[in-house]
Structure 1
Amino acid sequence: MFAGAVAVGWVCHGGGAVVAATVSGLALPPGLSEFYSHGVGAIAMKLKMANVYLLTVVLILGAAVYAVQYQSENPSASQQTSARPLFPQVDEASINSLTLETQTRSLSFERDENGVWRMTEPENAVANQASVAYLANLVATGTSDRTLTINADELDTYGLDQPLATLTFAQTGKEPRTVVMGTYNFNRTALYALIDPPATLEGELSVLLVSPDFETAVTRPTGEWTEPEAATESPTEAPTDATDPTEGSAEEPIEAPAETPSAESPNEESPSSEGDSEPQ
């Protein structure tokens, strides 16, 4: 009907749409011209509004995801407390026994009457005093500034269903105390822990965040928990062996002058033998 060609191009720019119509060889009727000027403009406006709605939805979803993750890793103000001791009124000197249990081993230590730490399990030996004292000091001075309330069915989330370690210590005349250590928090600044948990883990439980130094203290190789006695005894024997040859060599010069009279005795006997021969 029309002799000519109509080309329509869509160009997206700035979240909206610009419609370009190129008409060759014909003059558009008024109705068709009005369609291009109003209808296409309305379509462009709808596309622009759709982009605005889509951007709004994305921002809302992003904010919701951030809020959920932040809430899960950072307890509310009602759950946060100021730093407080893990075990109030416990000092290192009052601890007289420690038992450390992990998934692969069990170690026990006791102080003797001289205050020296000794390993009692898995062997009887003098303990490495620095290693045991470091662990006892963490127990006595450890603090926590955050407490979470969780359900017992969430223990695996905090690594407390198969704990990193369970530490039990005792004081004279008092009930044993226990700290159960789980996994790290999301930024590895603390370990999740249970303090004196009930025998049956059910219902709501209080989880504390404790220093990551506990991991260093409880994951030492077994050889670092005892003193290397053989290595410490060998230097003490060396001086005793070295003094024996010295004493023997010092006595030899003293005996040498004592033998000189026996050497002179033949000379003294020779005149007597000559005197006996003169009467003949």
Structure 2
Amino acid sequence: MKLQRTTLIFLLLALGLGGFVYFYEIQGATERQSAQEQQRQIFSFQSDRVQSLTVKTKDQTLRFERANKSDTSKWRMKSPNDTPASDAAVSYLLDLLVSGKSDRTLNVPVAQLQEYGLQQPQATVEIKLNDGTTHRLILGKPDFNNSFLYAQADPPTPPNSPVNVLLVSTNFENAVNRSLSEWKQIQQQSKDAETNNKLKDNKD
């Protein structure tokens, strides 16, 4: 009888330990992985909340607003021209902003930001949400092996030292460095080319 009671106690202890291991290793690992993913996420907003985008590069400043349902394009360029925007170009950038993750975060003194190309960035993207909230992504230069870009997300003003510098995908560089015509809807590109040809013919 005593042996059976001891066996039962060990069995209950084993079941309890097994349950603890399951919840810690399986459930806990899932929760820890989810928390790590959230920490790596650059921004936490959804694409349907974005009302406008402003892209500032060394060559140009462009502003896009979500278009009315009656428009042929989902997005409309408001500056430097008021014209339908290329949905593909804007959506590519927007997808990166919504789903993009940082590979890792560096703590950098403010005085060293210039070394990362962040005092005179190659591009700044400003995002305005439908509730009036704004976000900002500053894109610096590539890292030493051109695998990532140095970046800052929503940097404080004035900057605190040390500053969080993110390593983000180089796809951001491809997304923002486009000619003005690439940001326009294809039909509008054709119209612009036709207008330019007419002006050229008139000069001749």
TM over 0.5: yes
Aligned 1:122-201 pairs, distance under 5 A: 122-201=80-159
Is 2:32 aligned against 1:85? no
- Rounded Cα–Cα distance in structure 2 between residues aligned with 1:208 and 1:196: 11
- Rounded Cα–Cα distance in structure 2 between residues aligned with 1:215 and 1:168: 15
Equivalent residue for 1:210, pick from 137, 159, 168 = 168
Residue 203 of structure 1, CA deviation = 2.2
Verify the 8 A CA contact 1:96 1:170 in the aligned structure 2: yes
Is 2:52 aligned against 1:97? yes
Structure 1 segments unaligned to the other structure (5+ residues): 1-80, 234-280
Instruction: Give 3-state SS (helix, strand or coil) of 1:143's partner.
Output: coil
Residue 113 of structure 1, CA deviation = 2.4
Verify the 8 A CA contact 1:158 1:182 in the aligned structure 2: yes
Residue 170 of structure 1, CA deviation = 1.2
Q: Greater Rg, structure 1 or structure 2? A: 1
Superposed CA deviations along residues 178-210 of structure 1, whole A, max 9, x for unmatched, are: 000001111111000001012223421000000
Could you list the runs of 4 or more consecutive aligned residues of structure 1 that deviate by over 6 angstroms after TM superposition?
none
- Rounded Cα–Cα distance in structure 1 between residues aligned with 2:60 and 2:188: 24
Identity of aligned residues (%): 36
Closer, same or farther: CA 230–136 of 1 in aligned 2, 3 Å: closer
Closer, same or farther: CA 211–231 of 1 in aligned 2, 3 Å: closer
Considering only aligned residues, what root-mean-square deviation do their CA atoms show, in Å? Answer: 1.9
Structure 2 segments unaligned to the other structure (5+ residues): 1-34, 192-204
Verify the 8 A CA contact 1:82 1:145 in the aligned structure 2: no
Residue 230 of structure 1, CA deviation = 5.4
Structure with the larger RCO, 1 or 2 (CA within 8 Å, 6+ apart): 2
Aligned 1:107-122 pairs, distance under 5 A: 107-114=62-69, 116-122=74-80
- Rounded Cα–Cα distance in structure 2 between residues aligned with 1:161 and 1:202: 14
Verify the 8 A CA contact 2:181 2:189 in the aligned structure 1: no
